[in-house]
Structure 1
Amino acid sequence: MRAVLSFAFQVLSTIIIFLASTGTCVQIAVSLTYTEYVGTALGNGVSQWLGLRYAAPPVGALRFAPPQDPPVYSEPQPAINHGNWCVRRPGKGLTSEDCLFLDVYAPTNATTDSKLPVFVFIQGGGFNDNANPNLNGTGLIKASSNSIVVVTLNYRVGPYGFLANRKQAVANNGLRDQRKALEWVQKYISRFGGNPDHVVLGGASAGAASVAYHMMADKDGKRKLFHAAAAESVSFGTVLTVDQAQYQYDNLVNRLGCASSDSAASLACLRSKSQKEIADKDSDIPYPGSSTAPIYMWSPVIDGDFVTDYPYSAFKTGKFTRNIPVIFGDDTNGGAGFAPSRISSLKDSNQFIKDNFPAITAGQLDTLNKLYPNPQASSCPSMGCWRGQAGSVYGEMRYMCPGLYLNDAFDHYNDRYQKGTSSWAYRWNVEDKDQIAAGLGVPHIVELNAIFGPSNIYYGGQVPKSYRPGGTNAAAVQVIQGYWVSFIKTFDPNTLRWAGSAEWKAWKSGDTAASARHQRLLFGTGGKTAMEEISRDSGLGVRCEFLQSIGISLWQ
């Protein structure tokens, strides 16, 4: 049987290789040092290799352990189906603990000498889920006229990726998975036509936060796993130390009957449990001193190794990868979908913020209440009448203001005289009538549908109808893809931007240093674009200045 399969793969490879151009073409069968993967030529100028192992299955003794090298297979492996994706709890879609897979999309006519720019995208999910698995890179490649390579990946989440223990369990394995994938790209992407010396790292939400963590981890710039970054809705959530996070570990082992004074024994007991047993007992619990569990409990922690500081502190002091071009941005109503409908009073709103940022003080909450008056107060008391206010605070505290802070940090620390080190900012304000009707406004990372293209989103929510071909916002898809492809290929979003779209000026730009202004690109409904200024004394400027000033004290 094995001989028959091997012969079948050889025949398939021969057929597709024949269809590809000759010479040193990236063939549908690609040999890596540990196996050969057989992908698919789609017939549209793009080939794909799905479900490539970049690390060993993190099961058994490797559960809660750093990622290890992938296993060696002597027979060719089919790369025609997406790999399992990582979730905290099984039961939806193709999920498993054995989930460390990535997908590669490349032009079919690329050669091993093509040295095409590479875009590596890290999905979000609050570090508790893989929220955007199986994103299809075909749309971006077609938008680039078949001149880039796209890589997407899965990584461990929940306790599997972010369990922390003082003595035994290595922390932040989800981030270590991502690094393992980036190292895989450095080692193998040339075999698919990509250039390991031209890698743009992308991500959304927790994936964008991951981009920031990789910048922090490579503060001396020696790893060089990426050379530019474009991140949507960078998330600065609460960051605990390993000691502070011990209560999460203790709670889990207690619920599973694994409690022991010997931490090695308790960890071994956790490894002996099935994924279902863990899922049945792994419920969110409040931070110590809070009343309700946070939206996302399992998260990166300060471990003194991969994560050595709070993000706000690291970027304030220049301890991050410098002198690379970056894009950071957010959506107008990024917090709208997170605040629960039960928030019906100022007290409820304050408690919601404290449940997610437990270090916040009463005085800081008082200031926030003044900075964020409730426009719906006249409708109170009624169910949810403070939900909008709470969502506004949460959205700017966790997403918008951290992103602008990163723009500031890169502007401050980058070598202004070194070409290709600019920092760009944006706001996605493309309105979809269904989302507006649902009270979401322009919600969290909705632009991901446009960046990859509305037909290339496999999972992770409903694609706005207006983004589809013929829709009122179809032009917005072309516009943002133009900027992104330009940035991926040239490290500048303007070089190849869509005809008629605005020149995207750097975050701090002007004719002279004295006249320099903070500006970001505004993506509008129907594909409209324009620059907007953010002054320090504007409403957003004042709010962000306060939130950024207390970020370290909030453990962000």
Structure 2
Amino acid sequence: MHYQNRTGAARFLATSLATAVLAVSLGGCLSSGGGGGGGGSTTPAPNPLQVSTQQGDYIGIEEAGMRVYRGIRYGVAERFASPEFPPAHEEAVQLSEAFGSACPQNASPFGEASVDEDCLFLNVYSPEEPGDYPVMVWIHGGAFIYGSGGASYDPRHLVERGVVVVTLNYRLGALGFLPHAALGNANFGLQDQQLALRWVQENIAAFDGDPDNVTIFGESAGGHSVMSQIASPAAEGLFHKAIIQSGAYNGTQLPLAAGQYAFARETLAQLGCTTADDLLSCLRSQTVEDILAAQAGNYLPVTGTPTLPVSIIEALATGEFNKVPVMSGSNLEEGSLFTLLALADEDDALRVVLAPGVSDTIKDASYASSVATLLEENPALDTQQIASDYLARFATLPAPDKYIAAHAAIGTDWRFNCPNSTQWELLKDQVPTWGYWFTERNAPALPGLAAPFPLGATHTAEIQFVLSSNETLTERGATEDHLALAEHMASYWTNFARYGDDPAIGPNGTDGSGSLPAWDPVSDAGFVNNLVAPTPTASSKAAFDIAHQCGYWNAPPVLPEEDVLPQ
């Protein structure tokens, strides 16, 4: 596939929103202390909140029934260089409610701006009682340009079920993923994630985590990161299970040369580095602000690098990947979020369908133009035919509903759900694989997403059922049924972390109560778990494929070869 550095083409990822839509104040949830007094060297009795790592001692705080360690620096890195562990410190570091700085990113509705390149921090949340707990490492989403592992995520539902949760920052945007042959490995953000996982291997036992039972999980760009780590030889042995939430998109990724053209060409031109004799020196001489202003609207990890020699799809198809149990899935209406964003974009033609007094002919043309923008990364697709085919599915709806529904369905099926189905097929005969389909259309409203149409089970809507507290869900309007679904999902996620290497148990657990509906692995029978309030139900993969037109997308309408413009 071809990728362009155009705002319209990049929008689907640039608003991956995992940080934004979950960013709510955790005021009232935070404790002012509990760490006890001062440095370890003067404490007369052992401090149960003090831990020793390879880099030195840290003193955490007590909060919401957890031992919490925010803002641990796991790495340092020179700009456009591989990260390293930080030097050790001698005095115990007293941690607090504060998170470490987010990695550089532009100000946006989706997260606070940052220009601090000293940003490789992680956070550890452990149960109060000592133990030997499975570890879950969360990789945040945000189009590889936004987000952090900070206050947007509240892991107490998971920790109270007996796991240690780690959240982390990694370099974003051009500073983390600018692809260019002169920069060598290029996928610095993936390298940061791997260094954090090495830190976990070396240190998590001090927090009562089991380094031999580590599950990585993430959503959107975070889920794509998880799949990239599955494909990365450099990540071998760093994790033992994987959960992918809405991260199956663009599994073919891009080779380094194509990525250089798509993601670096315009950035380097704006920075005046295109003709530099020493590209690295030129890039290191730029201000963070100038790099952020010049970077692309989204990024993907590129292939042909030591970190990622081949794409996700090639690795899965050849069987050359880190073979760990996988749980993955996507949402019923992933694309509705991006349709909402298109309607808010002054440059997107879809806005015309909301205008009063505009003829149906003009609305048809505007809708088709917006679909072409949505699909433009693949110039071989016959976007006019695809737009027409999908509009026909919703012809009985009045305008503008039919245009909105068709646009959202294309974004859902093409971008997320049919690639998810393909990856299930590639994985199921090689590793234990569980699939889910999040279909809760009445999920609590996500902050800042007032919409002129129902978003349904949209992109990111499932995160709050795993990484939000009951208090936060209730504040958003959750019903008792929603809280019941959150209980089920937290149990599935933590059971998978504990038992996922046993296909006979997996996300189901072993309590024998029957309160958790059975979740069978994906197999030739093709069952997936339909996550809906209050009680998940088994569904067939065939129903998933039919609902998302996956047969259509297996052989979509394409232009005659002579009509495909060179890119």
The residue aligned with 2:40 is 10
CA RMSD in angstroms, aligned pairs only: 3.3
Q: Match for 2:497 among 482, 488, 503?
A: 488
1:90-142 Cα offsets, whole Å, 9 max, x none, are 585373322111101112221xxx33111111111111111663323222111
Match of 2:51 in 1: 30
Give the match for residue 538 of structure 2: 531
Which of 241, 245, 255 is the equivalent residue of 1:228? 241
Counterpart amino acid of residue 51 in structure 1? G
1:65 equivalent to 2:95? Answer: no
Q: Which residue of 1 aligns with 2:147?
A: 130
Whether the aligned pair in 1 keeps the contact of 2:271 and 2:294 (CA below 8 Å) is yes
The 5-angstrom pairing of residues 4-403 of structure 1 reads 8-10=38-40, 17=46, 27-42=48-63, 44-56=64-76, 58=77, 62-80=78-96, 81-89=98-106, 92-93=111-112, 95=114, 96-110=116-130, 114-130=131-147, 133-134=150-151, 135-142=153-160, 144=161, 147-168=162-183, 170-218=185-233, 223-237=236-250, 239-247=253-261, 248-262=263-277, 264=278, 266-282=279-295, 284=296, 296-322=297-323, 324-339=324-339, 340-341=342-343, 342-343=349-350, 344=353, 348=366, 351-352=369-370, 354-355=372-373, 357-358=375-376, 360-362=378-380, 364-365=382-383, 368-369=386-387, 372-377=390-395, 386-403=403-420
CA distance in 2, matches of 1:437, 1:473: 23
Q: 1:548 to 1:236 in 2, by over 3 A?
A: farther
The answer for the alignment partner of 1:476 in structure 2 is 485
Secondary structure of 1:30's aligned partner: strand
Provide closer, same or farther for how the CA distance between residues 408 and 129 of structure 1 changes in structure 2, counting only shifts above 3 A: same
**CA 1:433–1:32: 2 relative to 1, 3 Å:** closer
Whether the aligned pair in 2 keeps the contact of 1:374 and 1:386 (CA below 8 Å) is: no
* CA offsets 1:464-497 (integer angstroms, 9 cap, x no match): 7233xx6441111111112112112222111257
Distance 1:388 1:137 in 2: 34
- 1:428–1:524: 8 Å Cα contact kept in structure 2? yes
Which whole-Å CA distance do the structure 1 matches of 2:380 and 2:41 have between them?
A: 70
Report the TM-score when normalising by structure 2. 0.77
State how many pairs are aligned. 489
Structure 1 Cα separation of the partners of residues 411 and 291 of structure 2: 30
Residue range with higher mean Cα deviation, 347-356 or 62-71: 347-356
Structure 2, unaligned stretches of length 5 or more?
Answer: 1-35, 344-348, 354-362, 501-505
Post-superposition offset of 1:381: 6.8
State the 1:155 CA deviation: 0.8
Residues in 2 aligned to 1:245 and 1:213: alpha-carbon distance in whole angstroms: 16
Taking a change above 3 Å as real, the CA distance of residues 537 and 250 of structure 1, as seen in their structure-2 partners, is: closer
Contact 1:38-1:76 within 8 A present in 2 as well: yes
Quickly say closer, same or farther: Cα 1:426–1:75, change in 2 above 3 A.
Answer: same
CA separation of 1:364 and 1:183: change in aligned 2, threshold 3 A: farther
- On the 8 A contact 1:117/1:489 being kept in 2, the answer is yes
Once the two structures are superposed, what CA deviation does each residue of 1:294-323 show, in whole Å capped at 9, x if it has no partner?
xx532211233222333333322323222x
What is the match of residue 426 of structure 1?
437
One-letter code aligned to 1:425: Y
Which stretch has the larger CA shift, 199-208 or 345-354? 345-354
- Three-state SS of the structure 1 residue aligned to 2:38 is helix
Residues in 2 aligned to 1:538 and 1:423: alpha-carbon distance in whole angstroms: 16
User: C-alpha separation between the residues in 1 aligned to 2:331 and 2:57?
Assistant: 42
Distance in 2 (alpha carbons) for counterparts of 1:455 and 1:132: 20
SS in 1 for 2:167: strand
The gaps in structure 1 that reach 5 residues or longer are: 1-5, 19-26, 285-295, 415-420, 509-515
Secondary structure at 1:386's aligned position in 2?
helix
Structure 2 contact 135–215 (Cα < 8 Å) conserved: yes
Question: Which segment is superposed worse, 497-506 or 156-165?
Answer: 497-506
How many angstroms apart in 1 are the aligned matches of 2:118 and 2:133? Answer: 30
Distance 1:452 1:164 in 2: 32
SS at match of 2:516: coil
Go from structure 1 to structure 2 and tell me whether the alpha carbon gap of 1:439 and 1:189 turns closer, same or farther (over 3 Å shift).
Answer: same
- 1:397 to 1:538, Cα distance in 2 relative to 1, 3 A: closer
Confirm or deny: 8 A CA contact 1:240 1:302 kept in the other structure. Answer: yes
Deviations 1:445-469 (A, max 9, x none): 2111111233587xxxx987233xx
Contact 1:427–1:520 (CA under 8 A) maintained in structure 2:
no
- Cα pair distance change 1:394/1:109, threshold 3 Å: same
Judging changes above 3 Å, is the alpha-carbon distance between structure 1 residues 357 and 506 closer, same or farther for their aligned structure 2 residues? same
Residue 413 of structure 1 pairs with residue 430 of structure 2? yes
Q: Using a 3 Å threshold, how does the CA distance of structure 1 residues 166 and 355 change in structure 2: closer, same or farther? A: farther
Can you list the C-alpha shifts for 1:348-406, whole angstroms capped at 9, x where unaligned?
55555554554524555466446534455467775x85233222112222221222222
Distance verdict in 2 for CA 1:535–1:355, change over 3 Å: same
In the alignment, what sits opposite 1:521?
Answer: 529
For residue 119 of structure 2, what is the amino acid of its counterpart?
A: C
**Over residues 126-179 of structure 1, what are the superposed CA-to-partner deviations in whole Å (9 max), with x where a residue is unaligned?**
11111663323222111x1xx211111111111011111122353111111111
Could you tell me which amino acid in structure 2 is paired with residue 477 of structure 1?
A
Task: Give the partner amino acid of 1:141.
Answer: V
C-alpha distance 246-354 of structure 1, shift in aligned 2 (>3 A) = farther
